[in-house]
Amino acid sequence: MGNKFSYSDLCAGIGGFRIALDPLGGKCLYSCDINPDNEKTYFANYLDKYNTYDIYDIKSRTFPYVDVLCAGFPCQPFSIAGKRKGFTDSRGLIYFKIAEIIKHSQPKVVFLENVPNLMRIEKGRTFKTILNNLNELGYDPYYEVLDSSNFGVPQSRNRIYIVAFRKDLNIFGFNFTKKRTKKRSFRSIIQTGDYSIPISKKWNTYIDLYTGKISLEDIAFDVPKTRQKLERVDKNVNLNDCVFQIRSSGIRALSIDKPLPTFAVSVSGGGAMIPVYSKERRHISIIEITRLMGFPDNFEFPVSRTNAIKQLANAVCPPVIKSIFQDILFSTENSIISESRPIREKV
């Protein structure tokens, strides 16, 4: 594609935005993330280090102009799985720092990602605040909740995406493509024989229990109530060839002939919360999780296995980002960049 544009990668994580945007003509001019371990993975794959760790250290008035400002800002303050403190959580306030940067840099396009619960927290007031703020900054915002399983990712991961165009671009209406591919099953990405994350002896016992080979009375150790039976079982699932999803509320048996539900790991890390593939009696592997998130097989992780899994669980899905950006290019007639750029306020 002949179009060239510049962009920032704020709250960058391991660069899910970058995987999608660079092949479309993008050049990253600024990246930021709070986690030094994320930077190790970022550098291994892009040969770039973050410009800063703490987004609050960015001097907004001198932030470099970019055509597109991207940010998958922290979802924990808005997630159903979290405490849902919204803007009362310090991580939720990161949005206002991003808004400050937008005010001074005035990119042509703002591209944000978060969890769908962002729209519901505080009875919708938090989300309305964000949309109103973007409008006050001189942008027309559009949003959509998209499921990654409609974009070639074997995981049903719903996220809200916000695309805001600077008003002088005169973009009247924007449509998100809601589906680009057929559903892809988890079975299609299984790396047969990958025992790189073995299960414990207890988990071998649990598999025997859930597949009916033994009963509770046959188990020599105390089994917690949430592990004594399956909490939920997919329709027509083969328990001897399925994925056991481990949750604090219980164990769910998932069919591998459809996309898996949203992949997440506990904040405590380790292997305990990594899904189990019953047929081979092992945890799913790093390469399978990489595919589950829509990252390429050759993506490198020069960090511990626990950190690699956390990094993937917190990432954006590149195929969805790519699709949305293709929609952006279409709406702007492939001319995101132009000779005219906004006049900065004098410092």
The token pair that represents 266 in the structure block: 């506990």
Inter-axis angle of helices 94-105 and 125-136, nearest 10: 10
Question: CA-CA distance, 23 to 21, in Å (whole number)?
Answer: 6
Strand, coil or helix: 289: helix
Helix (H) or strand (E) run with residue 309 in it: helix 305-313
Question: CA-CA distance, 23 to 32, in Å (whole number)?
Answer: 20
* 75 has catalytic annotation: yes
Half-sphere exposure of 79 (CA within 13 A, CB side): 15
Question: CA-CA distance, 23 to 2, in Å (whole number)?
Answer: 11
Question: CA-CA distance, 305 to 268, in Å (whole number)?
Answer: 13
Q: Which of 28, 70, 75, 242 is catalytic?
A: 75
- In sequence order, what are the residues at sequence separation of 6 or more whose Cβ sits closer than 8 angstroms to the Cβ of residue 346? none
The token pair that represents 192 in the structure block: 């047969």
Question: CA-CA distance, 159 to 92, in Å (whole number)?
Answer: 16
Provide the annotated active-site residues: 75
